[in-house]
Chain A
Amino acid sequence: MRRRIVFLVLLGTFIGLAIWITGIGKLGIYSTFTGQDLLRETGVHLKYVGLGELIAIVVGVSLGVVVSRPWAQRTRLSTVVVGAAGMGQCIPSMALIALMAPILGFGLWAVVVALFVYGLLPILRNTYAGFRSIDPAIIEAAQGMGMSRGQIVRRIELPLARPVIMAGIRTSTVVNVGTAALAVLVGGAGLGRIILTGVLSRQPLITLQGAAPTAALAIVLDFLLDALEDRLTPKGLKVKKSQA
């Protein structure tokens, strides 16, 4: 309940700010962005985050499944892969996006790939952790009853690891809403463009006009993914032990 109130207050504040600034119109020689501009840039921003996350989820979960296989743990492949993904996150996000541009050209793909690299680690790490936390007796029982490897992954391991994987996706998404604001550095658009305009024109209100919706977006996505995480948690993992 308290969480819900905090959520509504924060969201209301940021949306209110954005609406108020949009309503001001003129700021000296500058004018604030219109509501239409705001919606368009929010849409673009969402597209960046969505595409980057989509690839990060597909790659992160698949890699997570692979590195949690017993042979990968024996051969230390898991350590290497999870370590490498960690390196991706060590590069400052600004540098990462800037480095992508010469490779992938300025525009959409440089942004999406940078967001993918940046969002991969939490998903990969959580998938790996989620799989490893499964009681080995459960896997042994499944094997002993004649489930194939694929069936064990799909019917047993993925559902059991799902809450942890979802938590990774949530972290990754929220972080990337912020990172996506840097898209403007490599010729992209999104809410970062409004923020940068404010910075260059030394108009803090315009900066705020871009920052407030960015924050609101992060809050909304966090809330939605949290609800989704709860929905996707198998019922059997939520029931309380009711009798001795």
Chain B
Amino acid sequence: MIRLEEVTKVYPDGTEAVRGVTLQVAKGEFCVLLGPSGCGKTTTLKMINRLIPLSSGRITVDGVDIYKVDPNDLRRGIGYAIQEIGLFPHMTVGENIATVPRLLRWPKERIRRRVEELLELVGLVPPEEFSKKYPAELSGGQRQRVGVARALGADPPILLMDEPFGAIDPITRERLQDEFLRIQAEIKKTIVFVTHDINEAVKLGDRIALMREGRLVQYATPAELLAHPKDGFVRDFVGADRTLKALRLLRVREVMEEKPPTVEASKPLAEARERLERLGVNFLPVVDREGRFLGWLNRTNLRPEGRVAEVMTPYSVLATPDTPLNEALSLMFESAVGNLAVVDGEGRLRGLLTFRRLHEVLRESYREEGQG
């Protein structure tokens, strides 16, 4: 656990970079320091591993004041990754990753195994091949992966990361973020992560510490921060498209209509027409005998004779219960019928996402905002 108590930093030139920040990051928690450029995020982060000395206040790691331990011992127990990466160009990828284990004098064999394990974890496979390469032989994204692997070198319980995905192209960045979330689910580190990108913060963080001019303005979960911004600054920073950002926090399962009416592919069309009319709808999802989703029956395609399977429109897009709502929304625009079928891993229809339902959810969040 990391605790900052009334932490302040005044640089020798008089710049008050951090002013009385108090904040606690629980074990295994992913804390994001968020805020505009120059608000003191990097300074705060570097005070935790003593790269920058505090002016006043106290920082403890697992209850121990960081000034009670040798700075190099402290740093060997805290992973550190930065935007510029700072890979050692004269060392191979393997040697780079082995930096802290070597400082800790791990046996050779253990280091070799650890390097391979980490290369696999960050997706640089085959590890024997990547281990021997030099940083100059890697792409930007690959280098950033090595940077993360190096920070994880000696399996430190804590990770400090300063905009580690900041300097890479958006597509690679998204992928690295996704992978990092997967890694974090596996390794459960206590993480302090700096970014100025609200989307990255919302995507990665368990909690977001929003900073402005050296002060901590709000410390909350992403959902709280978006739903109840504490003041005008937070509201502005979070941005106008807040509703869309809120959507990515919700999953399809939370808003879909469960057990929707369906029609079986083998049924005669006459029966299907009756069902459409009774329900007063223009579309029905078509399923097979086991309840697997096949496509849509459109009222305008009905014929007097035949079976549902002959006139049904096969589906083009699908969602799962875990799809974030913002993605589901764009899928809905692609869907032929405007509604989105939600299927499970076996392809069985679990629910429907409709514009009406989505509209209700949005209205609810607006109402909450009005009260907040």
Please list the residues of chain A having a beta carbon within 8 angstroms of any beta carbon in chain B: 135, 137-148, 151, 156, 159-160, 234-237, 239-244
Contacts and interface: CB of A to CB of B under 8 A. Distances in A.
B99 interface: yes
Interface stretch (B70-78, B263-271, B276-284, B331-339): B70-78
Given A137-B82, A146-B100, A243-B139, 10 more contacts: A140-B86, A141-B82, A141-B86, A145-B103, A146-B72, A234-B89, A234-B90, A236-B136, A239-B134, A242-B137
Nearest to B49: A144
Nearest to A241: B136
Contact of B103 (A135, A151, A241): A151
Interface of B: 49, 51, 71-76, 80, 82, 84-92, 99-100, 103, 134-139, 150, 153, 160
B90 A160 contact: yes
A143 B51 contact: yes
Given A138-B88, A141-B87, A156-B88, A147 B134 contact: no
5 contacts: A139-B86, A141-B80, A144-B51, A144-B160, A236-B89
Contacts of B91: 236
Given A137-B84, A141-B86, A236 B72 contact: no
B59 to A, nearest CB: 16
Nearest to B80: A144
Given A236-B136, A239-B136, A241-B137, A147 B103 contact: yes
B72 A147 contact: yes
A240 B136 contact: yes
Contacts of B135: 236
Nearest to A138: B86
A237 B80 CA distance: 24
Most buried by A among B72, B74, B85, B135: B72
B148 to A, nearest CB: 12
A242 to B, nearest CB: 5
Given A137-B85, A138-B88, A144 B75 contact: yes
B70 to A, nearest CB: 9
A142 B74 contact: no
A205 B135 CA distance: 56
Contacts of B90: 159-160, 234-237
Contacts of A235: 90, 134
A239 B85 contact: no
Given A236-B92, A241-B137, A243-B137, A145 B99 contact: yes
A140 B51 contact: yes
A140 B89 contact: no
A93 B126 CA distance: 59
Given A160-B89, A236-B91, A135 B84 contact: yes
A125 B357 CA distance: 72
Contacts of B138: 243
A-B pairs, 7 with minimum CB distance: A141-B86, A234-B90, A137-B84, A146-B75, A144-B80, A146-B76, A236-B134
A60 to B, nearest CB: 22
B89 to A, nearest CB: 5
B72 A239 contact: no
A244 B139 contact: yes
Contact of A145 (B76, B137, B139): B76
B50 to A, nearest CB: 10
